Structure 1
Amino acid sequence: MLIELFEAKIPDFNMEMMGLTQILAAFQNGDELTMKRYNLMNQPEAFTRYPQVMQMLQKEDTLPLTLVDGEIVLIGEYPTIDDLTEITGISFQNVGGCGDNCENCSCGGH
């Protein structure tokens, strides 16, 4: 499975974004699950590979955009840990951010 995140710019840092970044990094080159992140400012060529992404760019407020195996699954918002778990069937609770429960996770935020 390939999950690709297309974003307009590097987002502001917060705990939720830190968790998503950790998950994307952990599965950047996975065997059964690979996650990629593309920034329009730094990697515009990645956007041009997908006609459906280019079509979405013609509309307002469509980024960030998440594709799973080339199909759009989220428009205008970042996937949450729960979204990624639902899409993949993998629990990411101990990989990324933990919200208010940092004592029992691996996010490093405590």
Structure 2
Amino acid sequence: MSSNIEIFEPAMCCSTGVCGPGVDKELLRVATFINQLEGEGKKVIRYNLSSTPQAFVENMHVNDALASEGPDILPITYVNGEIKQVGTYPANFDLATWAGMTREELLSMIKKNREASGGGCCTGGGCC
């Protein structure tokens, strides 16, 4: 069963955060893996504090966490109506599990993406 996964991220220069002269490797990992999940029909919604502030206001759990802890608590991962993780991005395995993938489906996705990238660890050439 697929889940509703939302990641509430700090203010970034663009919608993905994978931009500018110094690309954050953790953001690259998350963006790449979310793209892979979407290729499998899974959905993960990312909200950037600077470009989609209304999402932070409308989600009372996230809003309350920000009000009590401040923006340093970001990113917040919210799954099916509950905060699952704060302060760091979830591991790929956690995202896949929350998206409803079995271990076998995850391994199949990884294998398919390695083959598509010529044996590298991520699609689109290069290695992350």
TM range (shorter): 0.7 to 0.9
Contact 1:6 1:39 in 2 (8 A): yes
Give the secondary structure class of the aligned counterpart of 2:32: helix
Give the secondary structure class of the aligned counterpart of 1:74: strand
Gaps of 5+ in 2: none
Greater fraction helix: 2
Contact 1:24 1:36 in 2 (8 A): no
Pairwise CA distance, 1:29 = 9.2
Aligned length in residues: 104
1:70 and 2:81 correspond: yes
Give the secondary structure class of the aligned counterpart of 1:6: strand
Percent of aligned pairs with the same residue?
Answer: 30
Tell me the TM-score normalised to structure 2 length. Answer: 0.64
Contact 2:5 2:99 in 1 (8 A): no
- After superposition, the Cα gap between the structure-2 partners of 1:55 and 1:29, relative to the gap in structure 1 and judged at 3 Å, is farther
Greater fraction strand: 1
Contact 2:5 2:98 in 1 (8 A): no
Distance 2:30 2:99 in 1: 14
Contact 2:6 2:78 in 1 (8 A): yes
Gaps of 5+ in 1: none
Mapping of 1:1-110 within 5 angstroms?
A: 1-10=3-12, 11=17, 13-27=23-37, 33-58=42-67, 59-60=69-70, 61-90=72-101, 91=106, 94=110, 103-107=119-123, 108-110=125-127
Pairwise CA distance, 1:80 = 1.6
Counterpart of 1:24, as a letter, is: I
Contact 2:49 2:56 in 1 (8 A): yes
> How large is the Cα RMSD of the aligned pairs?
3.0
